[in-house]
Structure 1
Amino acid sequence: MWAEKLGKELGYPTRSLMGWLVSRFLIAHNRVLEENAVQLSGIQPGDTVLELGHGPGLGLQSAAKLLTEPTGHLIGVDFSEYMHKMASDIMKELVASGKVTLHHCDVAAMPLADSTVDKVFHCNCYYFWPDLRKGATEIHRVMKPGGLMVTTMKVSAVAAFAKKQVMPGENWRPEAYMAALRDSGFSDVRMEDRQQKLLTFQAIYATASK
């Protein structure tokens, strides 16, 4: 029962003691993965960039620093109202200036126009989507032709959570997500091992073919 409750909070943090503890966990354990997802995305100063499941805002802060041209725009989406509020508070100045736009919404139904996003990144996120195909199809829809999507994770840690039944079903498996990406129109879908100091992690890449 505790595993199921923890899994729900990881996928949808709420304004509660458990949700607060999850937010602290994400800040402590996701920082390196978030920063690497940003760097591996190859963000250019004038890009339109989207982070999926932005959580408390670590990746948003890293990505915003790279968008130095006037046309550079950062978008974040998160299904958790608690995470949306937390990130909105952290990014309030950039949100007020129009440089950053945050949406409280489902990844499978984003209020974005077709073919408008250059780069997409996310971290420890897709495992909690109820339908990987719907999520991947929506990501593909909003991306420009040739746009790059990157997600980072530590597969061994995710597998350990799944073994304890914290992760729902089999969606956590990288091959399941990669298959959904290919089925949704992405090409050059691949996973690579990466290393940052003492941390070995994995990155999945996919290019939006249109």
Structure 2
Amino acid sequence: MLFDHLTKQLGKPTQGPWGWMLKKFFERRNRLLEVNAVKLCDIQPESVVLELGFGPGLGLQEAAKRLMLPKGKLYGLDYSEYMYRVASRRVQPDIQTGKVTLFHGSVEHIPLEDNVVDRVFHCNCYYFWPDLQSGCREIYRVMKPGGLMVTTLSLEVLRKFVAAGFLKNTKWPPEPYMATLRDTGFVDVYMEQKQDQGKPFQAIFARANKP
């Protein structure tokens, strides 16, 4: 029961002791994945960017630094109301200028128009989506033709979590996720082994194949 509860909290942290501890955990353990996802996205000064499952907002901070021209825009979507509030405080200056807009909601219903996003990134996120196919379809819908999505994760850490009893009933292996991306219409879907500061991680790339 405890592992099931913690798995739910990992996917949707709530206000309280568990949410606060997970916030600290994400800030310590996810920073490397967030920073590298932003780097690998190749964000340009005028890009329109979307982060899914932004958590405490570390990736939002990194991405916002790269949007240096007026047309540059960063959107963020998170399922957790608590994380939405935490991240909103972290990037409040950029929210006030209009560079950043955050949404509280599900990947199955992204509140953006069709074909508006150049880059999408997310870290430790897709395994908590209720429906992989619906989520991937919605991401594909909002992306511009040729838009790039980058997903970062650590299979080593995930396997340790699974061995400890976490992430039951989640689709954490990357293969079903990558297959769903291809079925949705993404092309050039592949995974690369990466390393930063001596720590290995994986990056999954996909491009929106649209006319």
Q: Shorter-chain TM-score category? A: over 0.9
Residue type of the alignment partner of 2:118: D
Q: How far did 1:92 drift?
A: 1.0
Q: Paired residue for 1:200?
A: 200
Question: Where do residues 10-159 of structure 1 align in structure 2 (5 Å cutoff)?
Answer: 10-159=10-159
Q: Please, which moves more after superposition, 97-106 or 157-166? A: 157-166
| Structure 1 residue 165, shift from structure 2 partner | 3.2
Q: Unaligned regions of 5+ residues in structure 2, if any?
A: none
2:122 maps to amino acid: H
Q: Percent identity?
A: 53
Do structure 1's residue 209 and structure 2's residue 194 form an aligned pair? Answer: no
Aligned to 2:163: 163
SS in 2 for 1:192: strand
Counterpart Cα distance in 1 of 2:55 and 2:108: 17
Checking the alignment, whether the CA contact within 8 Å between 1:162 and 1:172 is kept in structure 2 is no
Give a deviation string over 1:28-76, Cα, whole Å, max 9, x none.
Answer: 0000110000000000000000000000000000000000010000000
Residues of 2 paired with 1:163 and 1:52: CA distance?
Answer: 26
1:116-155 deviation per Cα after TM superposition (whole angstroms, max 9, x unaligned): 0000000001111111111111100000000000010101
Contact 2:128 2:170 in 1 (8 A): no
**8 Å Cα contact 2:150/2:205 also seen in 1:** yes
**Aligned equivalents of 1:163 and 1:142: distance in 2?**
36
How many residue pairs end up in the alignment? 210
Distance apart, 1:98 and its partner CA: 0.7
Look up the equivalent residue of 2:87 and give its one-letter code.
Answer: A
Find the residue that maps to 1:138 and give its secondary structure. helix
Distance 1:67 1:92 in 2: 16
Q: Deviations over 1:6-25 (max 9, x none)?
A: 10111000001011100100
Q: Distance in 2 between matches of 1:53 and 1:146?
A: 22
Structure 1 spans left out of the alignment, 5+ residues: none
Are 1:128 and 1:168, in contact at CA under 8 Å, matched by a contact in 2?
no
3-state secondary structure, aligned to 1:60: helix
- Structural RMSD (CA): 0.8
Q: Deviations over 1:131-184 (max 9, x none)?
A: 111111110000000000001010111122123331132510100110111111
TM-score using structure 1 length: 0.98
Asked if the contact 1:127/1:172 (under 8 Å) is kept, the reply is yes
After the TM superposition, which parts of structure 1 deviate over 6 Å for at least 4 consecutive aligned residues? none
- After alignment, is 152-161 or 73-82 more displaced? 152-161
Counterparts of 2:159 and 2:14 in 1: how far apart (Å)?
A: 24
